[in-house]
Amino acid sequence: MRILVVNDDGIKAPGLEILATWARKLGDVTVIAPKEEQSAKSHSINIRHPFEAKKVSWLDGIDCYSVESSPADCVRFAVNGLYLDFDLVFSGINKGYNVADDIAYSGTVAAICEAAHLGHKAVAFSTVPISFQWAQESLDRVWKYICDNKYLDLNGLWNVNIPEDPKDILLTRQGRAYFRDVFDEVSPEQYQARGTSFYEKSGKLEEDIDAVMSGFISISPLTVDHTAMNVFRKLKK
């Protein structure tokens, strides 16, 4: 199996090293990651200016590339720049959850969405911000769960979030918003975004946010189709 591993925390990030090293047991691994952190850059790509992309020496036995652009561009460069082909794309392990509305802003998730656009199956991994320990210890269990349930045969795009000291694995859907930004004026005409949480447990463990906040590993099927299919089908009738 040929595997591409990307992230949004930047080349040589601890979560990237853990995921790429673990993925070697599944097949041949190539790492292509942003030169610098690209968190919350969503699905941005660079079509206006040239950017640096170069091979770097980092992990033994793994070809690694640093790209001076976004996570989505890392995937684009792999396929359309290096003309590489992959059976699977992994993104992460992200330092911090990518659940609920945060999925829209996530560079980690955007990387797998770009992979899907290019015809590749892909899985994003994110975890609690304080440590990668629990994610690292859970990768075998999560992958076995995905394979045993043939999830990649059912859908090519999956989002995994691993909490501290996780319990069981739950199939989930995207939950509701739980963070809101306010903008603080730090100097004249200069503002800094500051996130504030308004999360309250609802007990709906089918939602990714409630699942991880309740200590469960969340696995959600995603789609890149933005069509409101229920409206489309209703109007077509």
Residue 89: CA count within 13 A, CB half-sphere:
35
Each residue's pLDDT tens digit in the chain (237 positions)?
A: 999 999 999 999 999 999 999 999 999 999 999 999 888 888 988 889 999 999 999 999 999 999 999 999 999 999 999 999 999 999 999 999 999 989 999 999 999 999 999 999 999 999 999 999 999 999 999 999 999 999 999 999 999 999 999 999 999 999 887 777 888 888 998 988 887 776 677 778 999 999 999 999 999 999 999 999 999 999 998
Amino acid symbol at 79: V
Nearest 5 degrees, angle CA 174-CA 178-CA 179? 125
Q: Which pLDDT score is estimated for 183?
A: 84
Record the tokens describing residue 100, joined without a space: 């609920």
Considering the four listed CATH numbers 3.30.420.80, 3.30.470.20, 3.40.190.10, 3.40.1210.10, the one that applies to the domain covering 2-174+205-236 is 3.40.1210.10
pLDDT recorded at residue 118: 96
Which residues on neighbouring strands pair with residue 220, listed in sequence order?
159
Q: Where are the domains of the chain?
A: 2-174+205-236
Supply the pLDDT for residue 170: 98
Instruction: Count Cβ atoms below 10 Å from residue 134 Cβ, excluding itself.
Output: 16
Residue 212 has a pLDDT of 96
| Contact assessment for residue 164 and residue 134, using Cβ atoms and an 8 Å cutoff | yes
Q: State both tokens at 115.
A: 């992979």
> What pLDDT, on a 0 to 100 scale, did the predictor assign at position 88?
98
